C-alpha cells in the first residue's frame, strides 16, 4: 500500500506547495535553537545540575515522540490511521523537505546538542565548593553521552550532518561548519562516547535512566553495528551481557508490565505521576479509553506474526483487541478503562534483548566460524518468548534473515524497524523504497538559510 501511492502523495504535496505564498522569509529563520543566556547561566552546583537535567529533558521528549514516529511509521509493523499529513507522508514513505515531523525531529536533536554543548562549555568553569571534581566530571560525562546520543540519531536518519561542538549564543557563533560524512559523524559519536566512559562514575546496581559506563558500552554496541564495525559491536555487547546488573526477564511481558527499571532495562527514560508519558494515546482506540486516538495501528501482517506461536510466541501480549480493533499496548500498562490521564510507562531506549541480537548479528556477519555463537544468541531471545530454537546452520544469510525477523517481533513497537531495514539495505526489498529515500531530507529552511550546506540536500531531495 505504501509503495503504490508514494509518488501520488509527492505530486499532491508539490501542487499544494506551489499554491503557498512565494515569500521565503519563513525559510530564512536561523535563530539559535534552544540557546541560553551566555553570562552567568551556569555558575554554581545547583545550576550545573539543572543544566544536565535540561539535556535529559530534551532527549526524553525526542525519545517518547519523534524517535518512535520516525522509527515506526515508515516501516511495515504499523500503519497510520489518523489525518495529519506529515504522518501520512511517513506512512507512504513519501518524505518531503517540509514534513513537520521530520523537521521537528531534526531540530530536536540539535536542541539536545546545543544544551549538551552548554554543559561542556560552562560546567568546567564552575568553582562552587559544593560541586566536587567527581560530580563535575560525571556531569560532563553525561553531556558527552547525550551529545553522542543526538548525533547518532542524526547520522542514522539524515546521514552526515554539520557537527557543532560549541554552544550557540547568537548568529555570530553559527557558520563555517561544512557537512560531515556519515562515517565522520559516527566517528564523532564514538569519540564522545570515549570521553563519556572515561568521565562517568562506576555503575551502581539500580540506575537505568541516567548515563553510566554500562549504558555507554551498550550504546557503543549499537553505534558500531550501524557503522558496520562488527568486532567492536560484539565486544561492547558482550561487556553489557556479562554485566551481572542485567538479565533477560521472564516471561516476555515482564519487561514492560513491571513497568520500569526492570533488570532487562539498560537505558530508559522513566516517567512519573508528575512527568507522564503522553505518547501512549495514539496506540489506543477510543473504545478502550476516551483519550485514545488509535492513529498507530498494527498491520495485519504483524498481527499474524505475533499470533503465530512458532514466530511470535508469547510476544502476542504486545497486542490486545477491543471489538474488531487490534491495538498495541507497549506504551501504557496501567488501567485505561476509566483513566484518561497519560501513563507512567517509560520510553525504552536500550534493553538487554537488543544487546543479544546486536551480538548475534555482528557474529553472523563476520566468518562462518562465528555462526554457532550467533545462533546461540538468537535462541536466547527466541526461547525467552517460548519460540523453538533456530537450527544450527552454515548458511549465514539464513541466520541474518532470522535475526531480522526476530528484531521485527521483539521490538515490534519500539523505534527500530525502519532503521533496521535501512542499515541492512533491505528497505527496497521489503518496503519498495528506493535507496535515494533511505535517508530523510534535511529541512528546506535549513538548506535555504545556511550557506555552509551549499544549497544541497540528501540524494533524491535536491
Is residue 34 a part of any domain in this protein?
Answer: no
Is residue 394 a part of any domain in this protein?
Answer: no
Is residue 312 a part of any domain in this protein?
Answer: yes
| Predicted local distance difference test score (pLDDT) of residue 398 | 98
| Predicted local distance difference test score (pLDDT) of residue 124 | 97
Is residue 324 a part of any domain in this protein?
Answer: yes
| Predicted local distance difference test score (pLDDT) of residue 10 | 38
| Predicted local distance difference test score (pLDDT) of residue 204 | 86
The tally of domains found in the chain comes to 1
| Predicted local distance difference test score (pLDDT) of residue 341 | 54
| Predicted local distance difference test score (pLDDT) of residue 228 | 98
| Predicted local distance difference test score (pLDDT) of residue 279 | 82
| Predicted local distance difference test score (pLDDT) of residue 29 | 35
Is residue 325 a part of any domain in this protein?
Answer: yes
Is residue 362 a part of any domain in this protein?
Answer: no
Average pLDDT for runs of 10 along the chain of length 462: 41 36 34 47 95 96 95 98 97 97 97 97 97 97 98 98 88 73 98 98 88 97 98 98 96 83 90 80 89 94 98 97 94 58 80 98 96 98 98 96 98 97 98 97 94 92 87
| Predicted local distance difference test score (pLDDT) of residue 25 | 32
End-to-end CA, the chain = 26
Cell numbers representing residue 223 in the block? 553505534
| Predicted local distance difference test score (pLDDT) of residue 392 | 93
| Closest to 336 (Cα-Cα) out of 296, 291, 270, 293 | 291
| Predicted local distance difference test score (pLDDT) of residue 31 | 41
Is residue 294 a part of any domain in this protein?
Answer: yes
| Predicted local distance difference test score (pLDDT) of residue 291 | 83
Residue 38 sits at φ, ψ, to 5 deg, of -65, -40
pTM of the model: 0.91
| Predicted local distance difference test score (pLDDT) of residue 4 | 40
| Residue numbers of the domain that contains 305 | 286-329
Is residue 37 a part of any domain in this protein?
Answer: no
CB burial string 88-127: b at 16+ within 10 A, e below: bbbbbbbbbbbbebbbbbbbbbbbbbbbbbbbbbbbeebe
Q: Count H helices and E strands in the chain, helices first.
A: 17, 6
| Predicted local distance difference test score (pLDDT) of residue 334 | 58
As a whole number of angstroms, the distance between CA 46 and CA 303 comes to: 49
Amino acid at each position: 500500500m505504501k509503495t503504490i501511492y508514494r509518488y501520488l502523495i509527492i505530486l499532491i504535496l508539490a501542487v499544494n506547495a506551489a499554491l503557498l505564498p512565494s515569500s521565503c522569509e519563513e525559510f530564512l529563520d536561523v535563530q539559535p535553537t534552544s540557546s541560553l543566556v551566555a553570562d552567568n547561566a551556569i555558575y554554581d552546583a545547583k545550576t550545573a545540575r539543572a543544566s544536565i537535567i535540561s539535556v535529559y529533558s530534551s532527549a526524553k521528549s525526542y525519545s517518547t515522540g519523534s524517535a518512535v514516529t520516525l522509527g515506526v511509521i515508515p516501516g511495515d509493523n504499523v500503519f497510520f490511521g489518523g489525518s495529519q499529513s506529515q504522518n501520512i507522508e511517513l506512512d507512504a514513505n513519501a518524505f518531503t523537505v517540509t514534513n513537520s515531523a521530520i523537521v521537528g525531529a531534526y531540530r530536536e536533536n540539535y536542541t539536545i546538542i546545543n544544551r549538551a554543548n552548554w554543559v561542556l562549555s560552562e560546567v568546567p568553569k564552575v568553582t562552587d565548593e559544593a560541586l566536587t571534581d567527581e560530580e563535575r566530571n560525571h556531569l560532563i560525562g553525561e553531556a558527552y553521552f547525550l551529545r553522542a546520543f543526538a548525533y547518532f540519531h542524526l547520522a542514522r536518519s539524515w546521514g552526515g550532518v554539520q557537527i557543532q561542538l560549541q554552544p550557540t549564543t547568537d548568529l555570530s557563533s553559527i557558520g563555517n561548519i561544512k557537512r560531515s560524512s556519515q562515517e565522520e559523524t559516527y566517528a564523532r559519536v564514538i569519540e564522545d562516547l570515549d570521553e563519556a566512559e572515561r568521565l562517568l562514575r562506576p555503575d551502581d546496581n539500580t540506575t537505568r535512566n541516567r548515563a553510566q559506563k554500562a549504558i555507554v558500552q551498550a550504546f557503543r554496541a549499537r553505534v558500531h553495528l550501524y557503522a558496520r564495525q562488527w568486532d567492536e559491536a560484539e565486544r561492547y555487547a558482550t561487556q553489557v551481557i556479562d554485566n551481572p546488573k542485567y538479565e533477560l526477564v521472564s516471561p516476555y511481558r515482564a519487561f514492560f508490565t513491571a513497568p520500569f527499571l526492570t533488570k532487562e532495562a539498560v537505558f530508559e527514560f522513566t516517567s512519573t505521576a508528575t512527568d507522564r508519558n503522553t505518547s501512549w494515546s495514539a496506540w489506543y482506540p477510543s473504545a478502550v479509553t476516551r483519550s485514545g486516538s488509535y492513529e498507530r495501528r498494527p498491520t495485519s501482517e504483524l498481527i499474524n506474526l505475533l499470533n503465530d506461536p512458532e514466530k511470535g510466541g508469547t510476544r502476542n501480549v504486545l497486542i490486545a483487541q477491543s471489538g474488531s480493533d487490534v491495538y498495541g499496548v507497549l506504551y501504557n500498562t496501567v488501567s485505561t478503562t476509566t483513566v484518561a490521564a497519560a501513563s507512567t510507562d517509560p520510553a525504552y531506549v536500550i534493553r538487554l534483548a537488543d544487546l543479544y541480537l546486536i551480538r548475534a548479528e555482528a557474529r553472523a556477519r563476520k566468518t562462518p566460524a562465528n555462526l554457532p555463537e550467533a545462533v546461540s544468541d538468537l535462541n536466547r531471545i527466541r526461547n525467552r518468548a517460548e519460540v523453538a530454537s533456530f537450527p544450527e546452520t552454515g548458511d549465514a544469510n539464513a541466520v541474518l534473515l532470522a535475526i531480522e525477523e526476530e528484531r521485527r517481533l521483539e521490538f515490534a513497537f519500539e523505534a527500530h524497524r525502519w532503521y533496521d531495514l535501512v542499515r541492512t539495505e533491505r528497505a527496497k526489498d521489503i518496503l519498495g523504497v528506493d535507496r535515494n529515500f533511505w535517508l530523510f531530507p534535511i529541512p528546506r529552511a535549513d538548506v535555504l538559510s545556511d550557506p555552509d550546506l551549499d544549497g544541497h540536500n540528501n540524494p533524491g531531495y535536491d
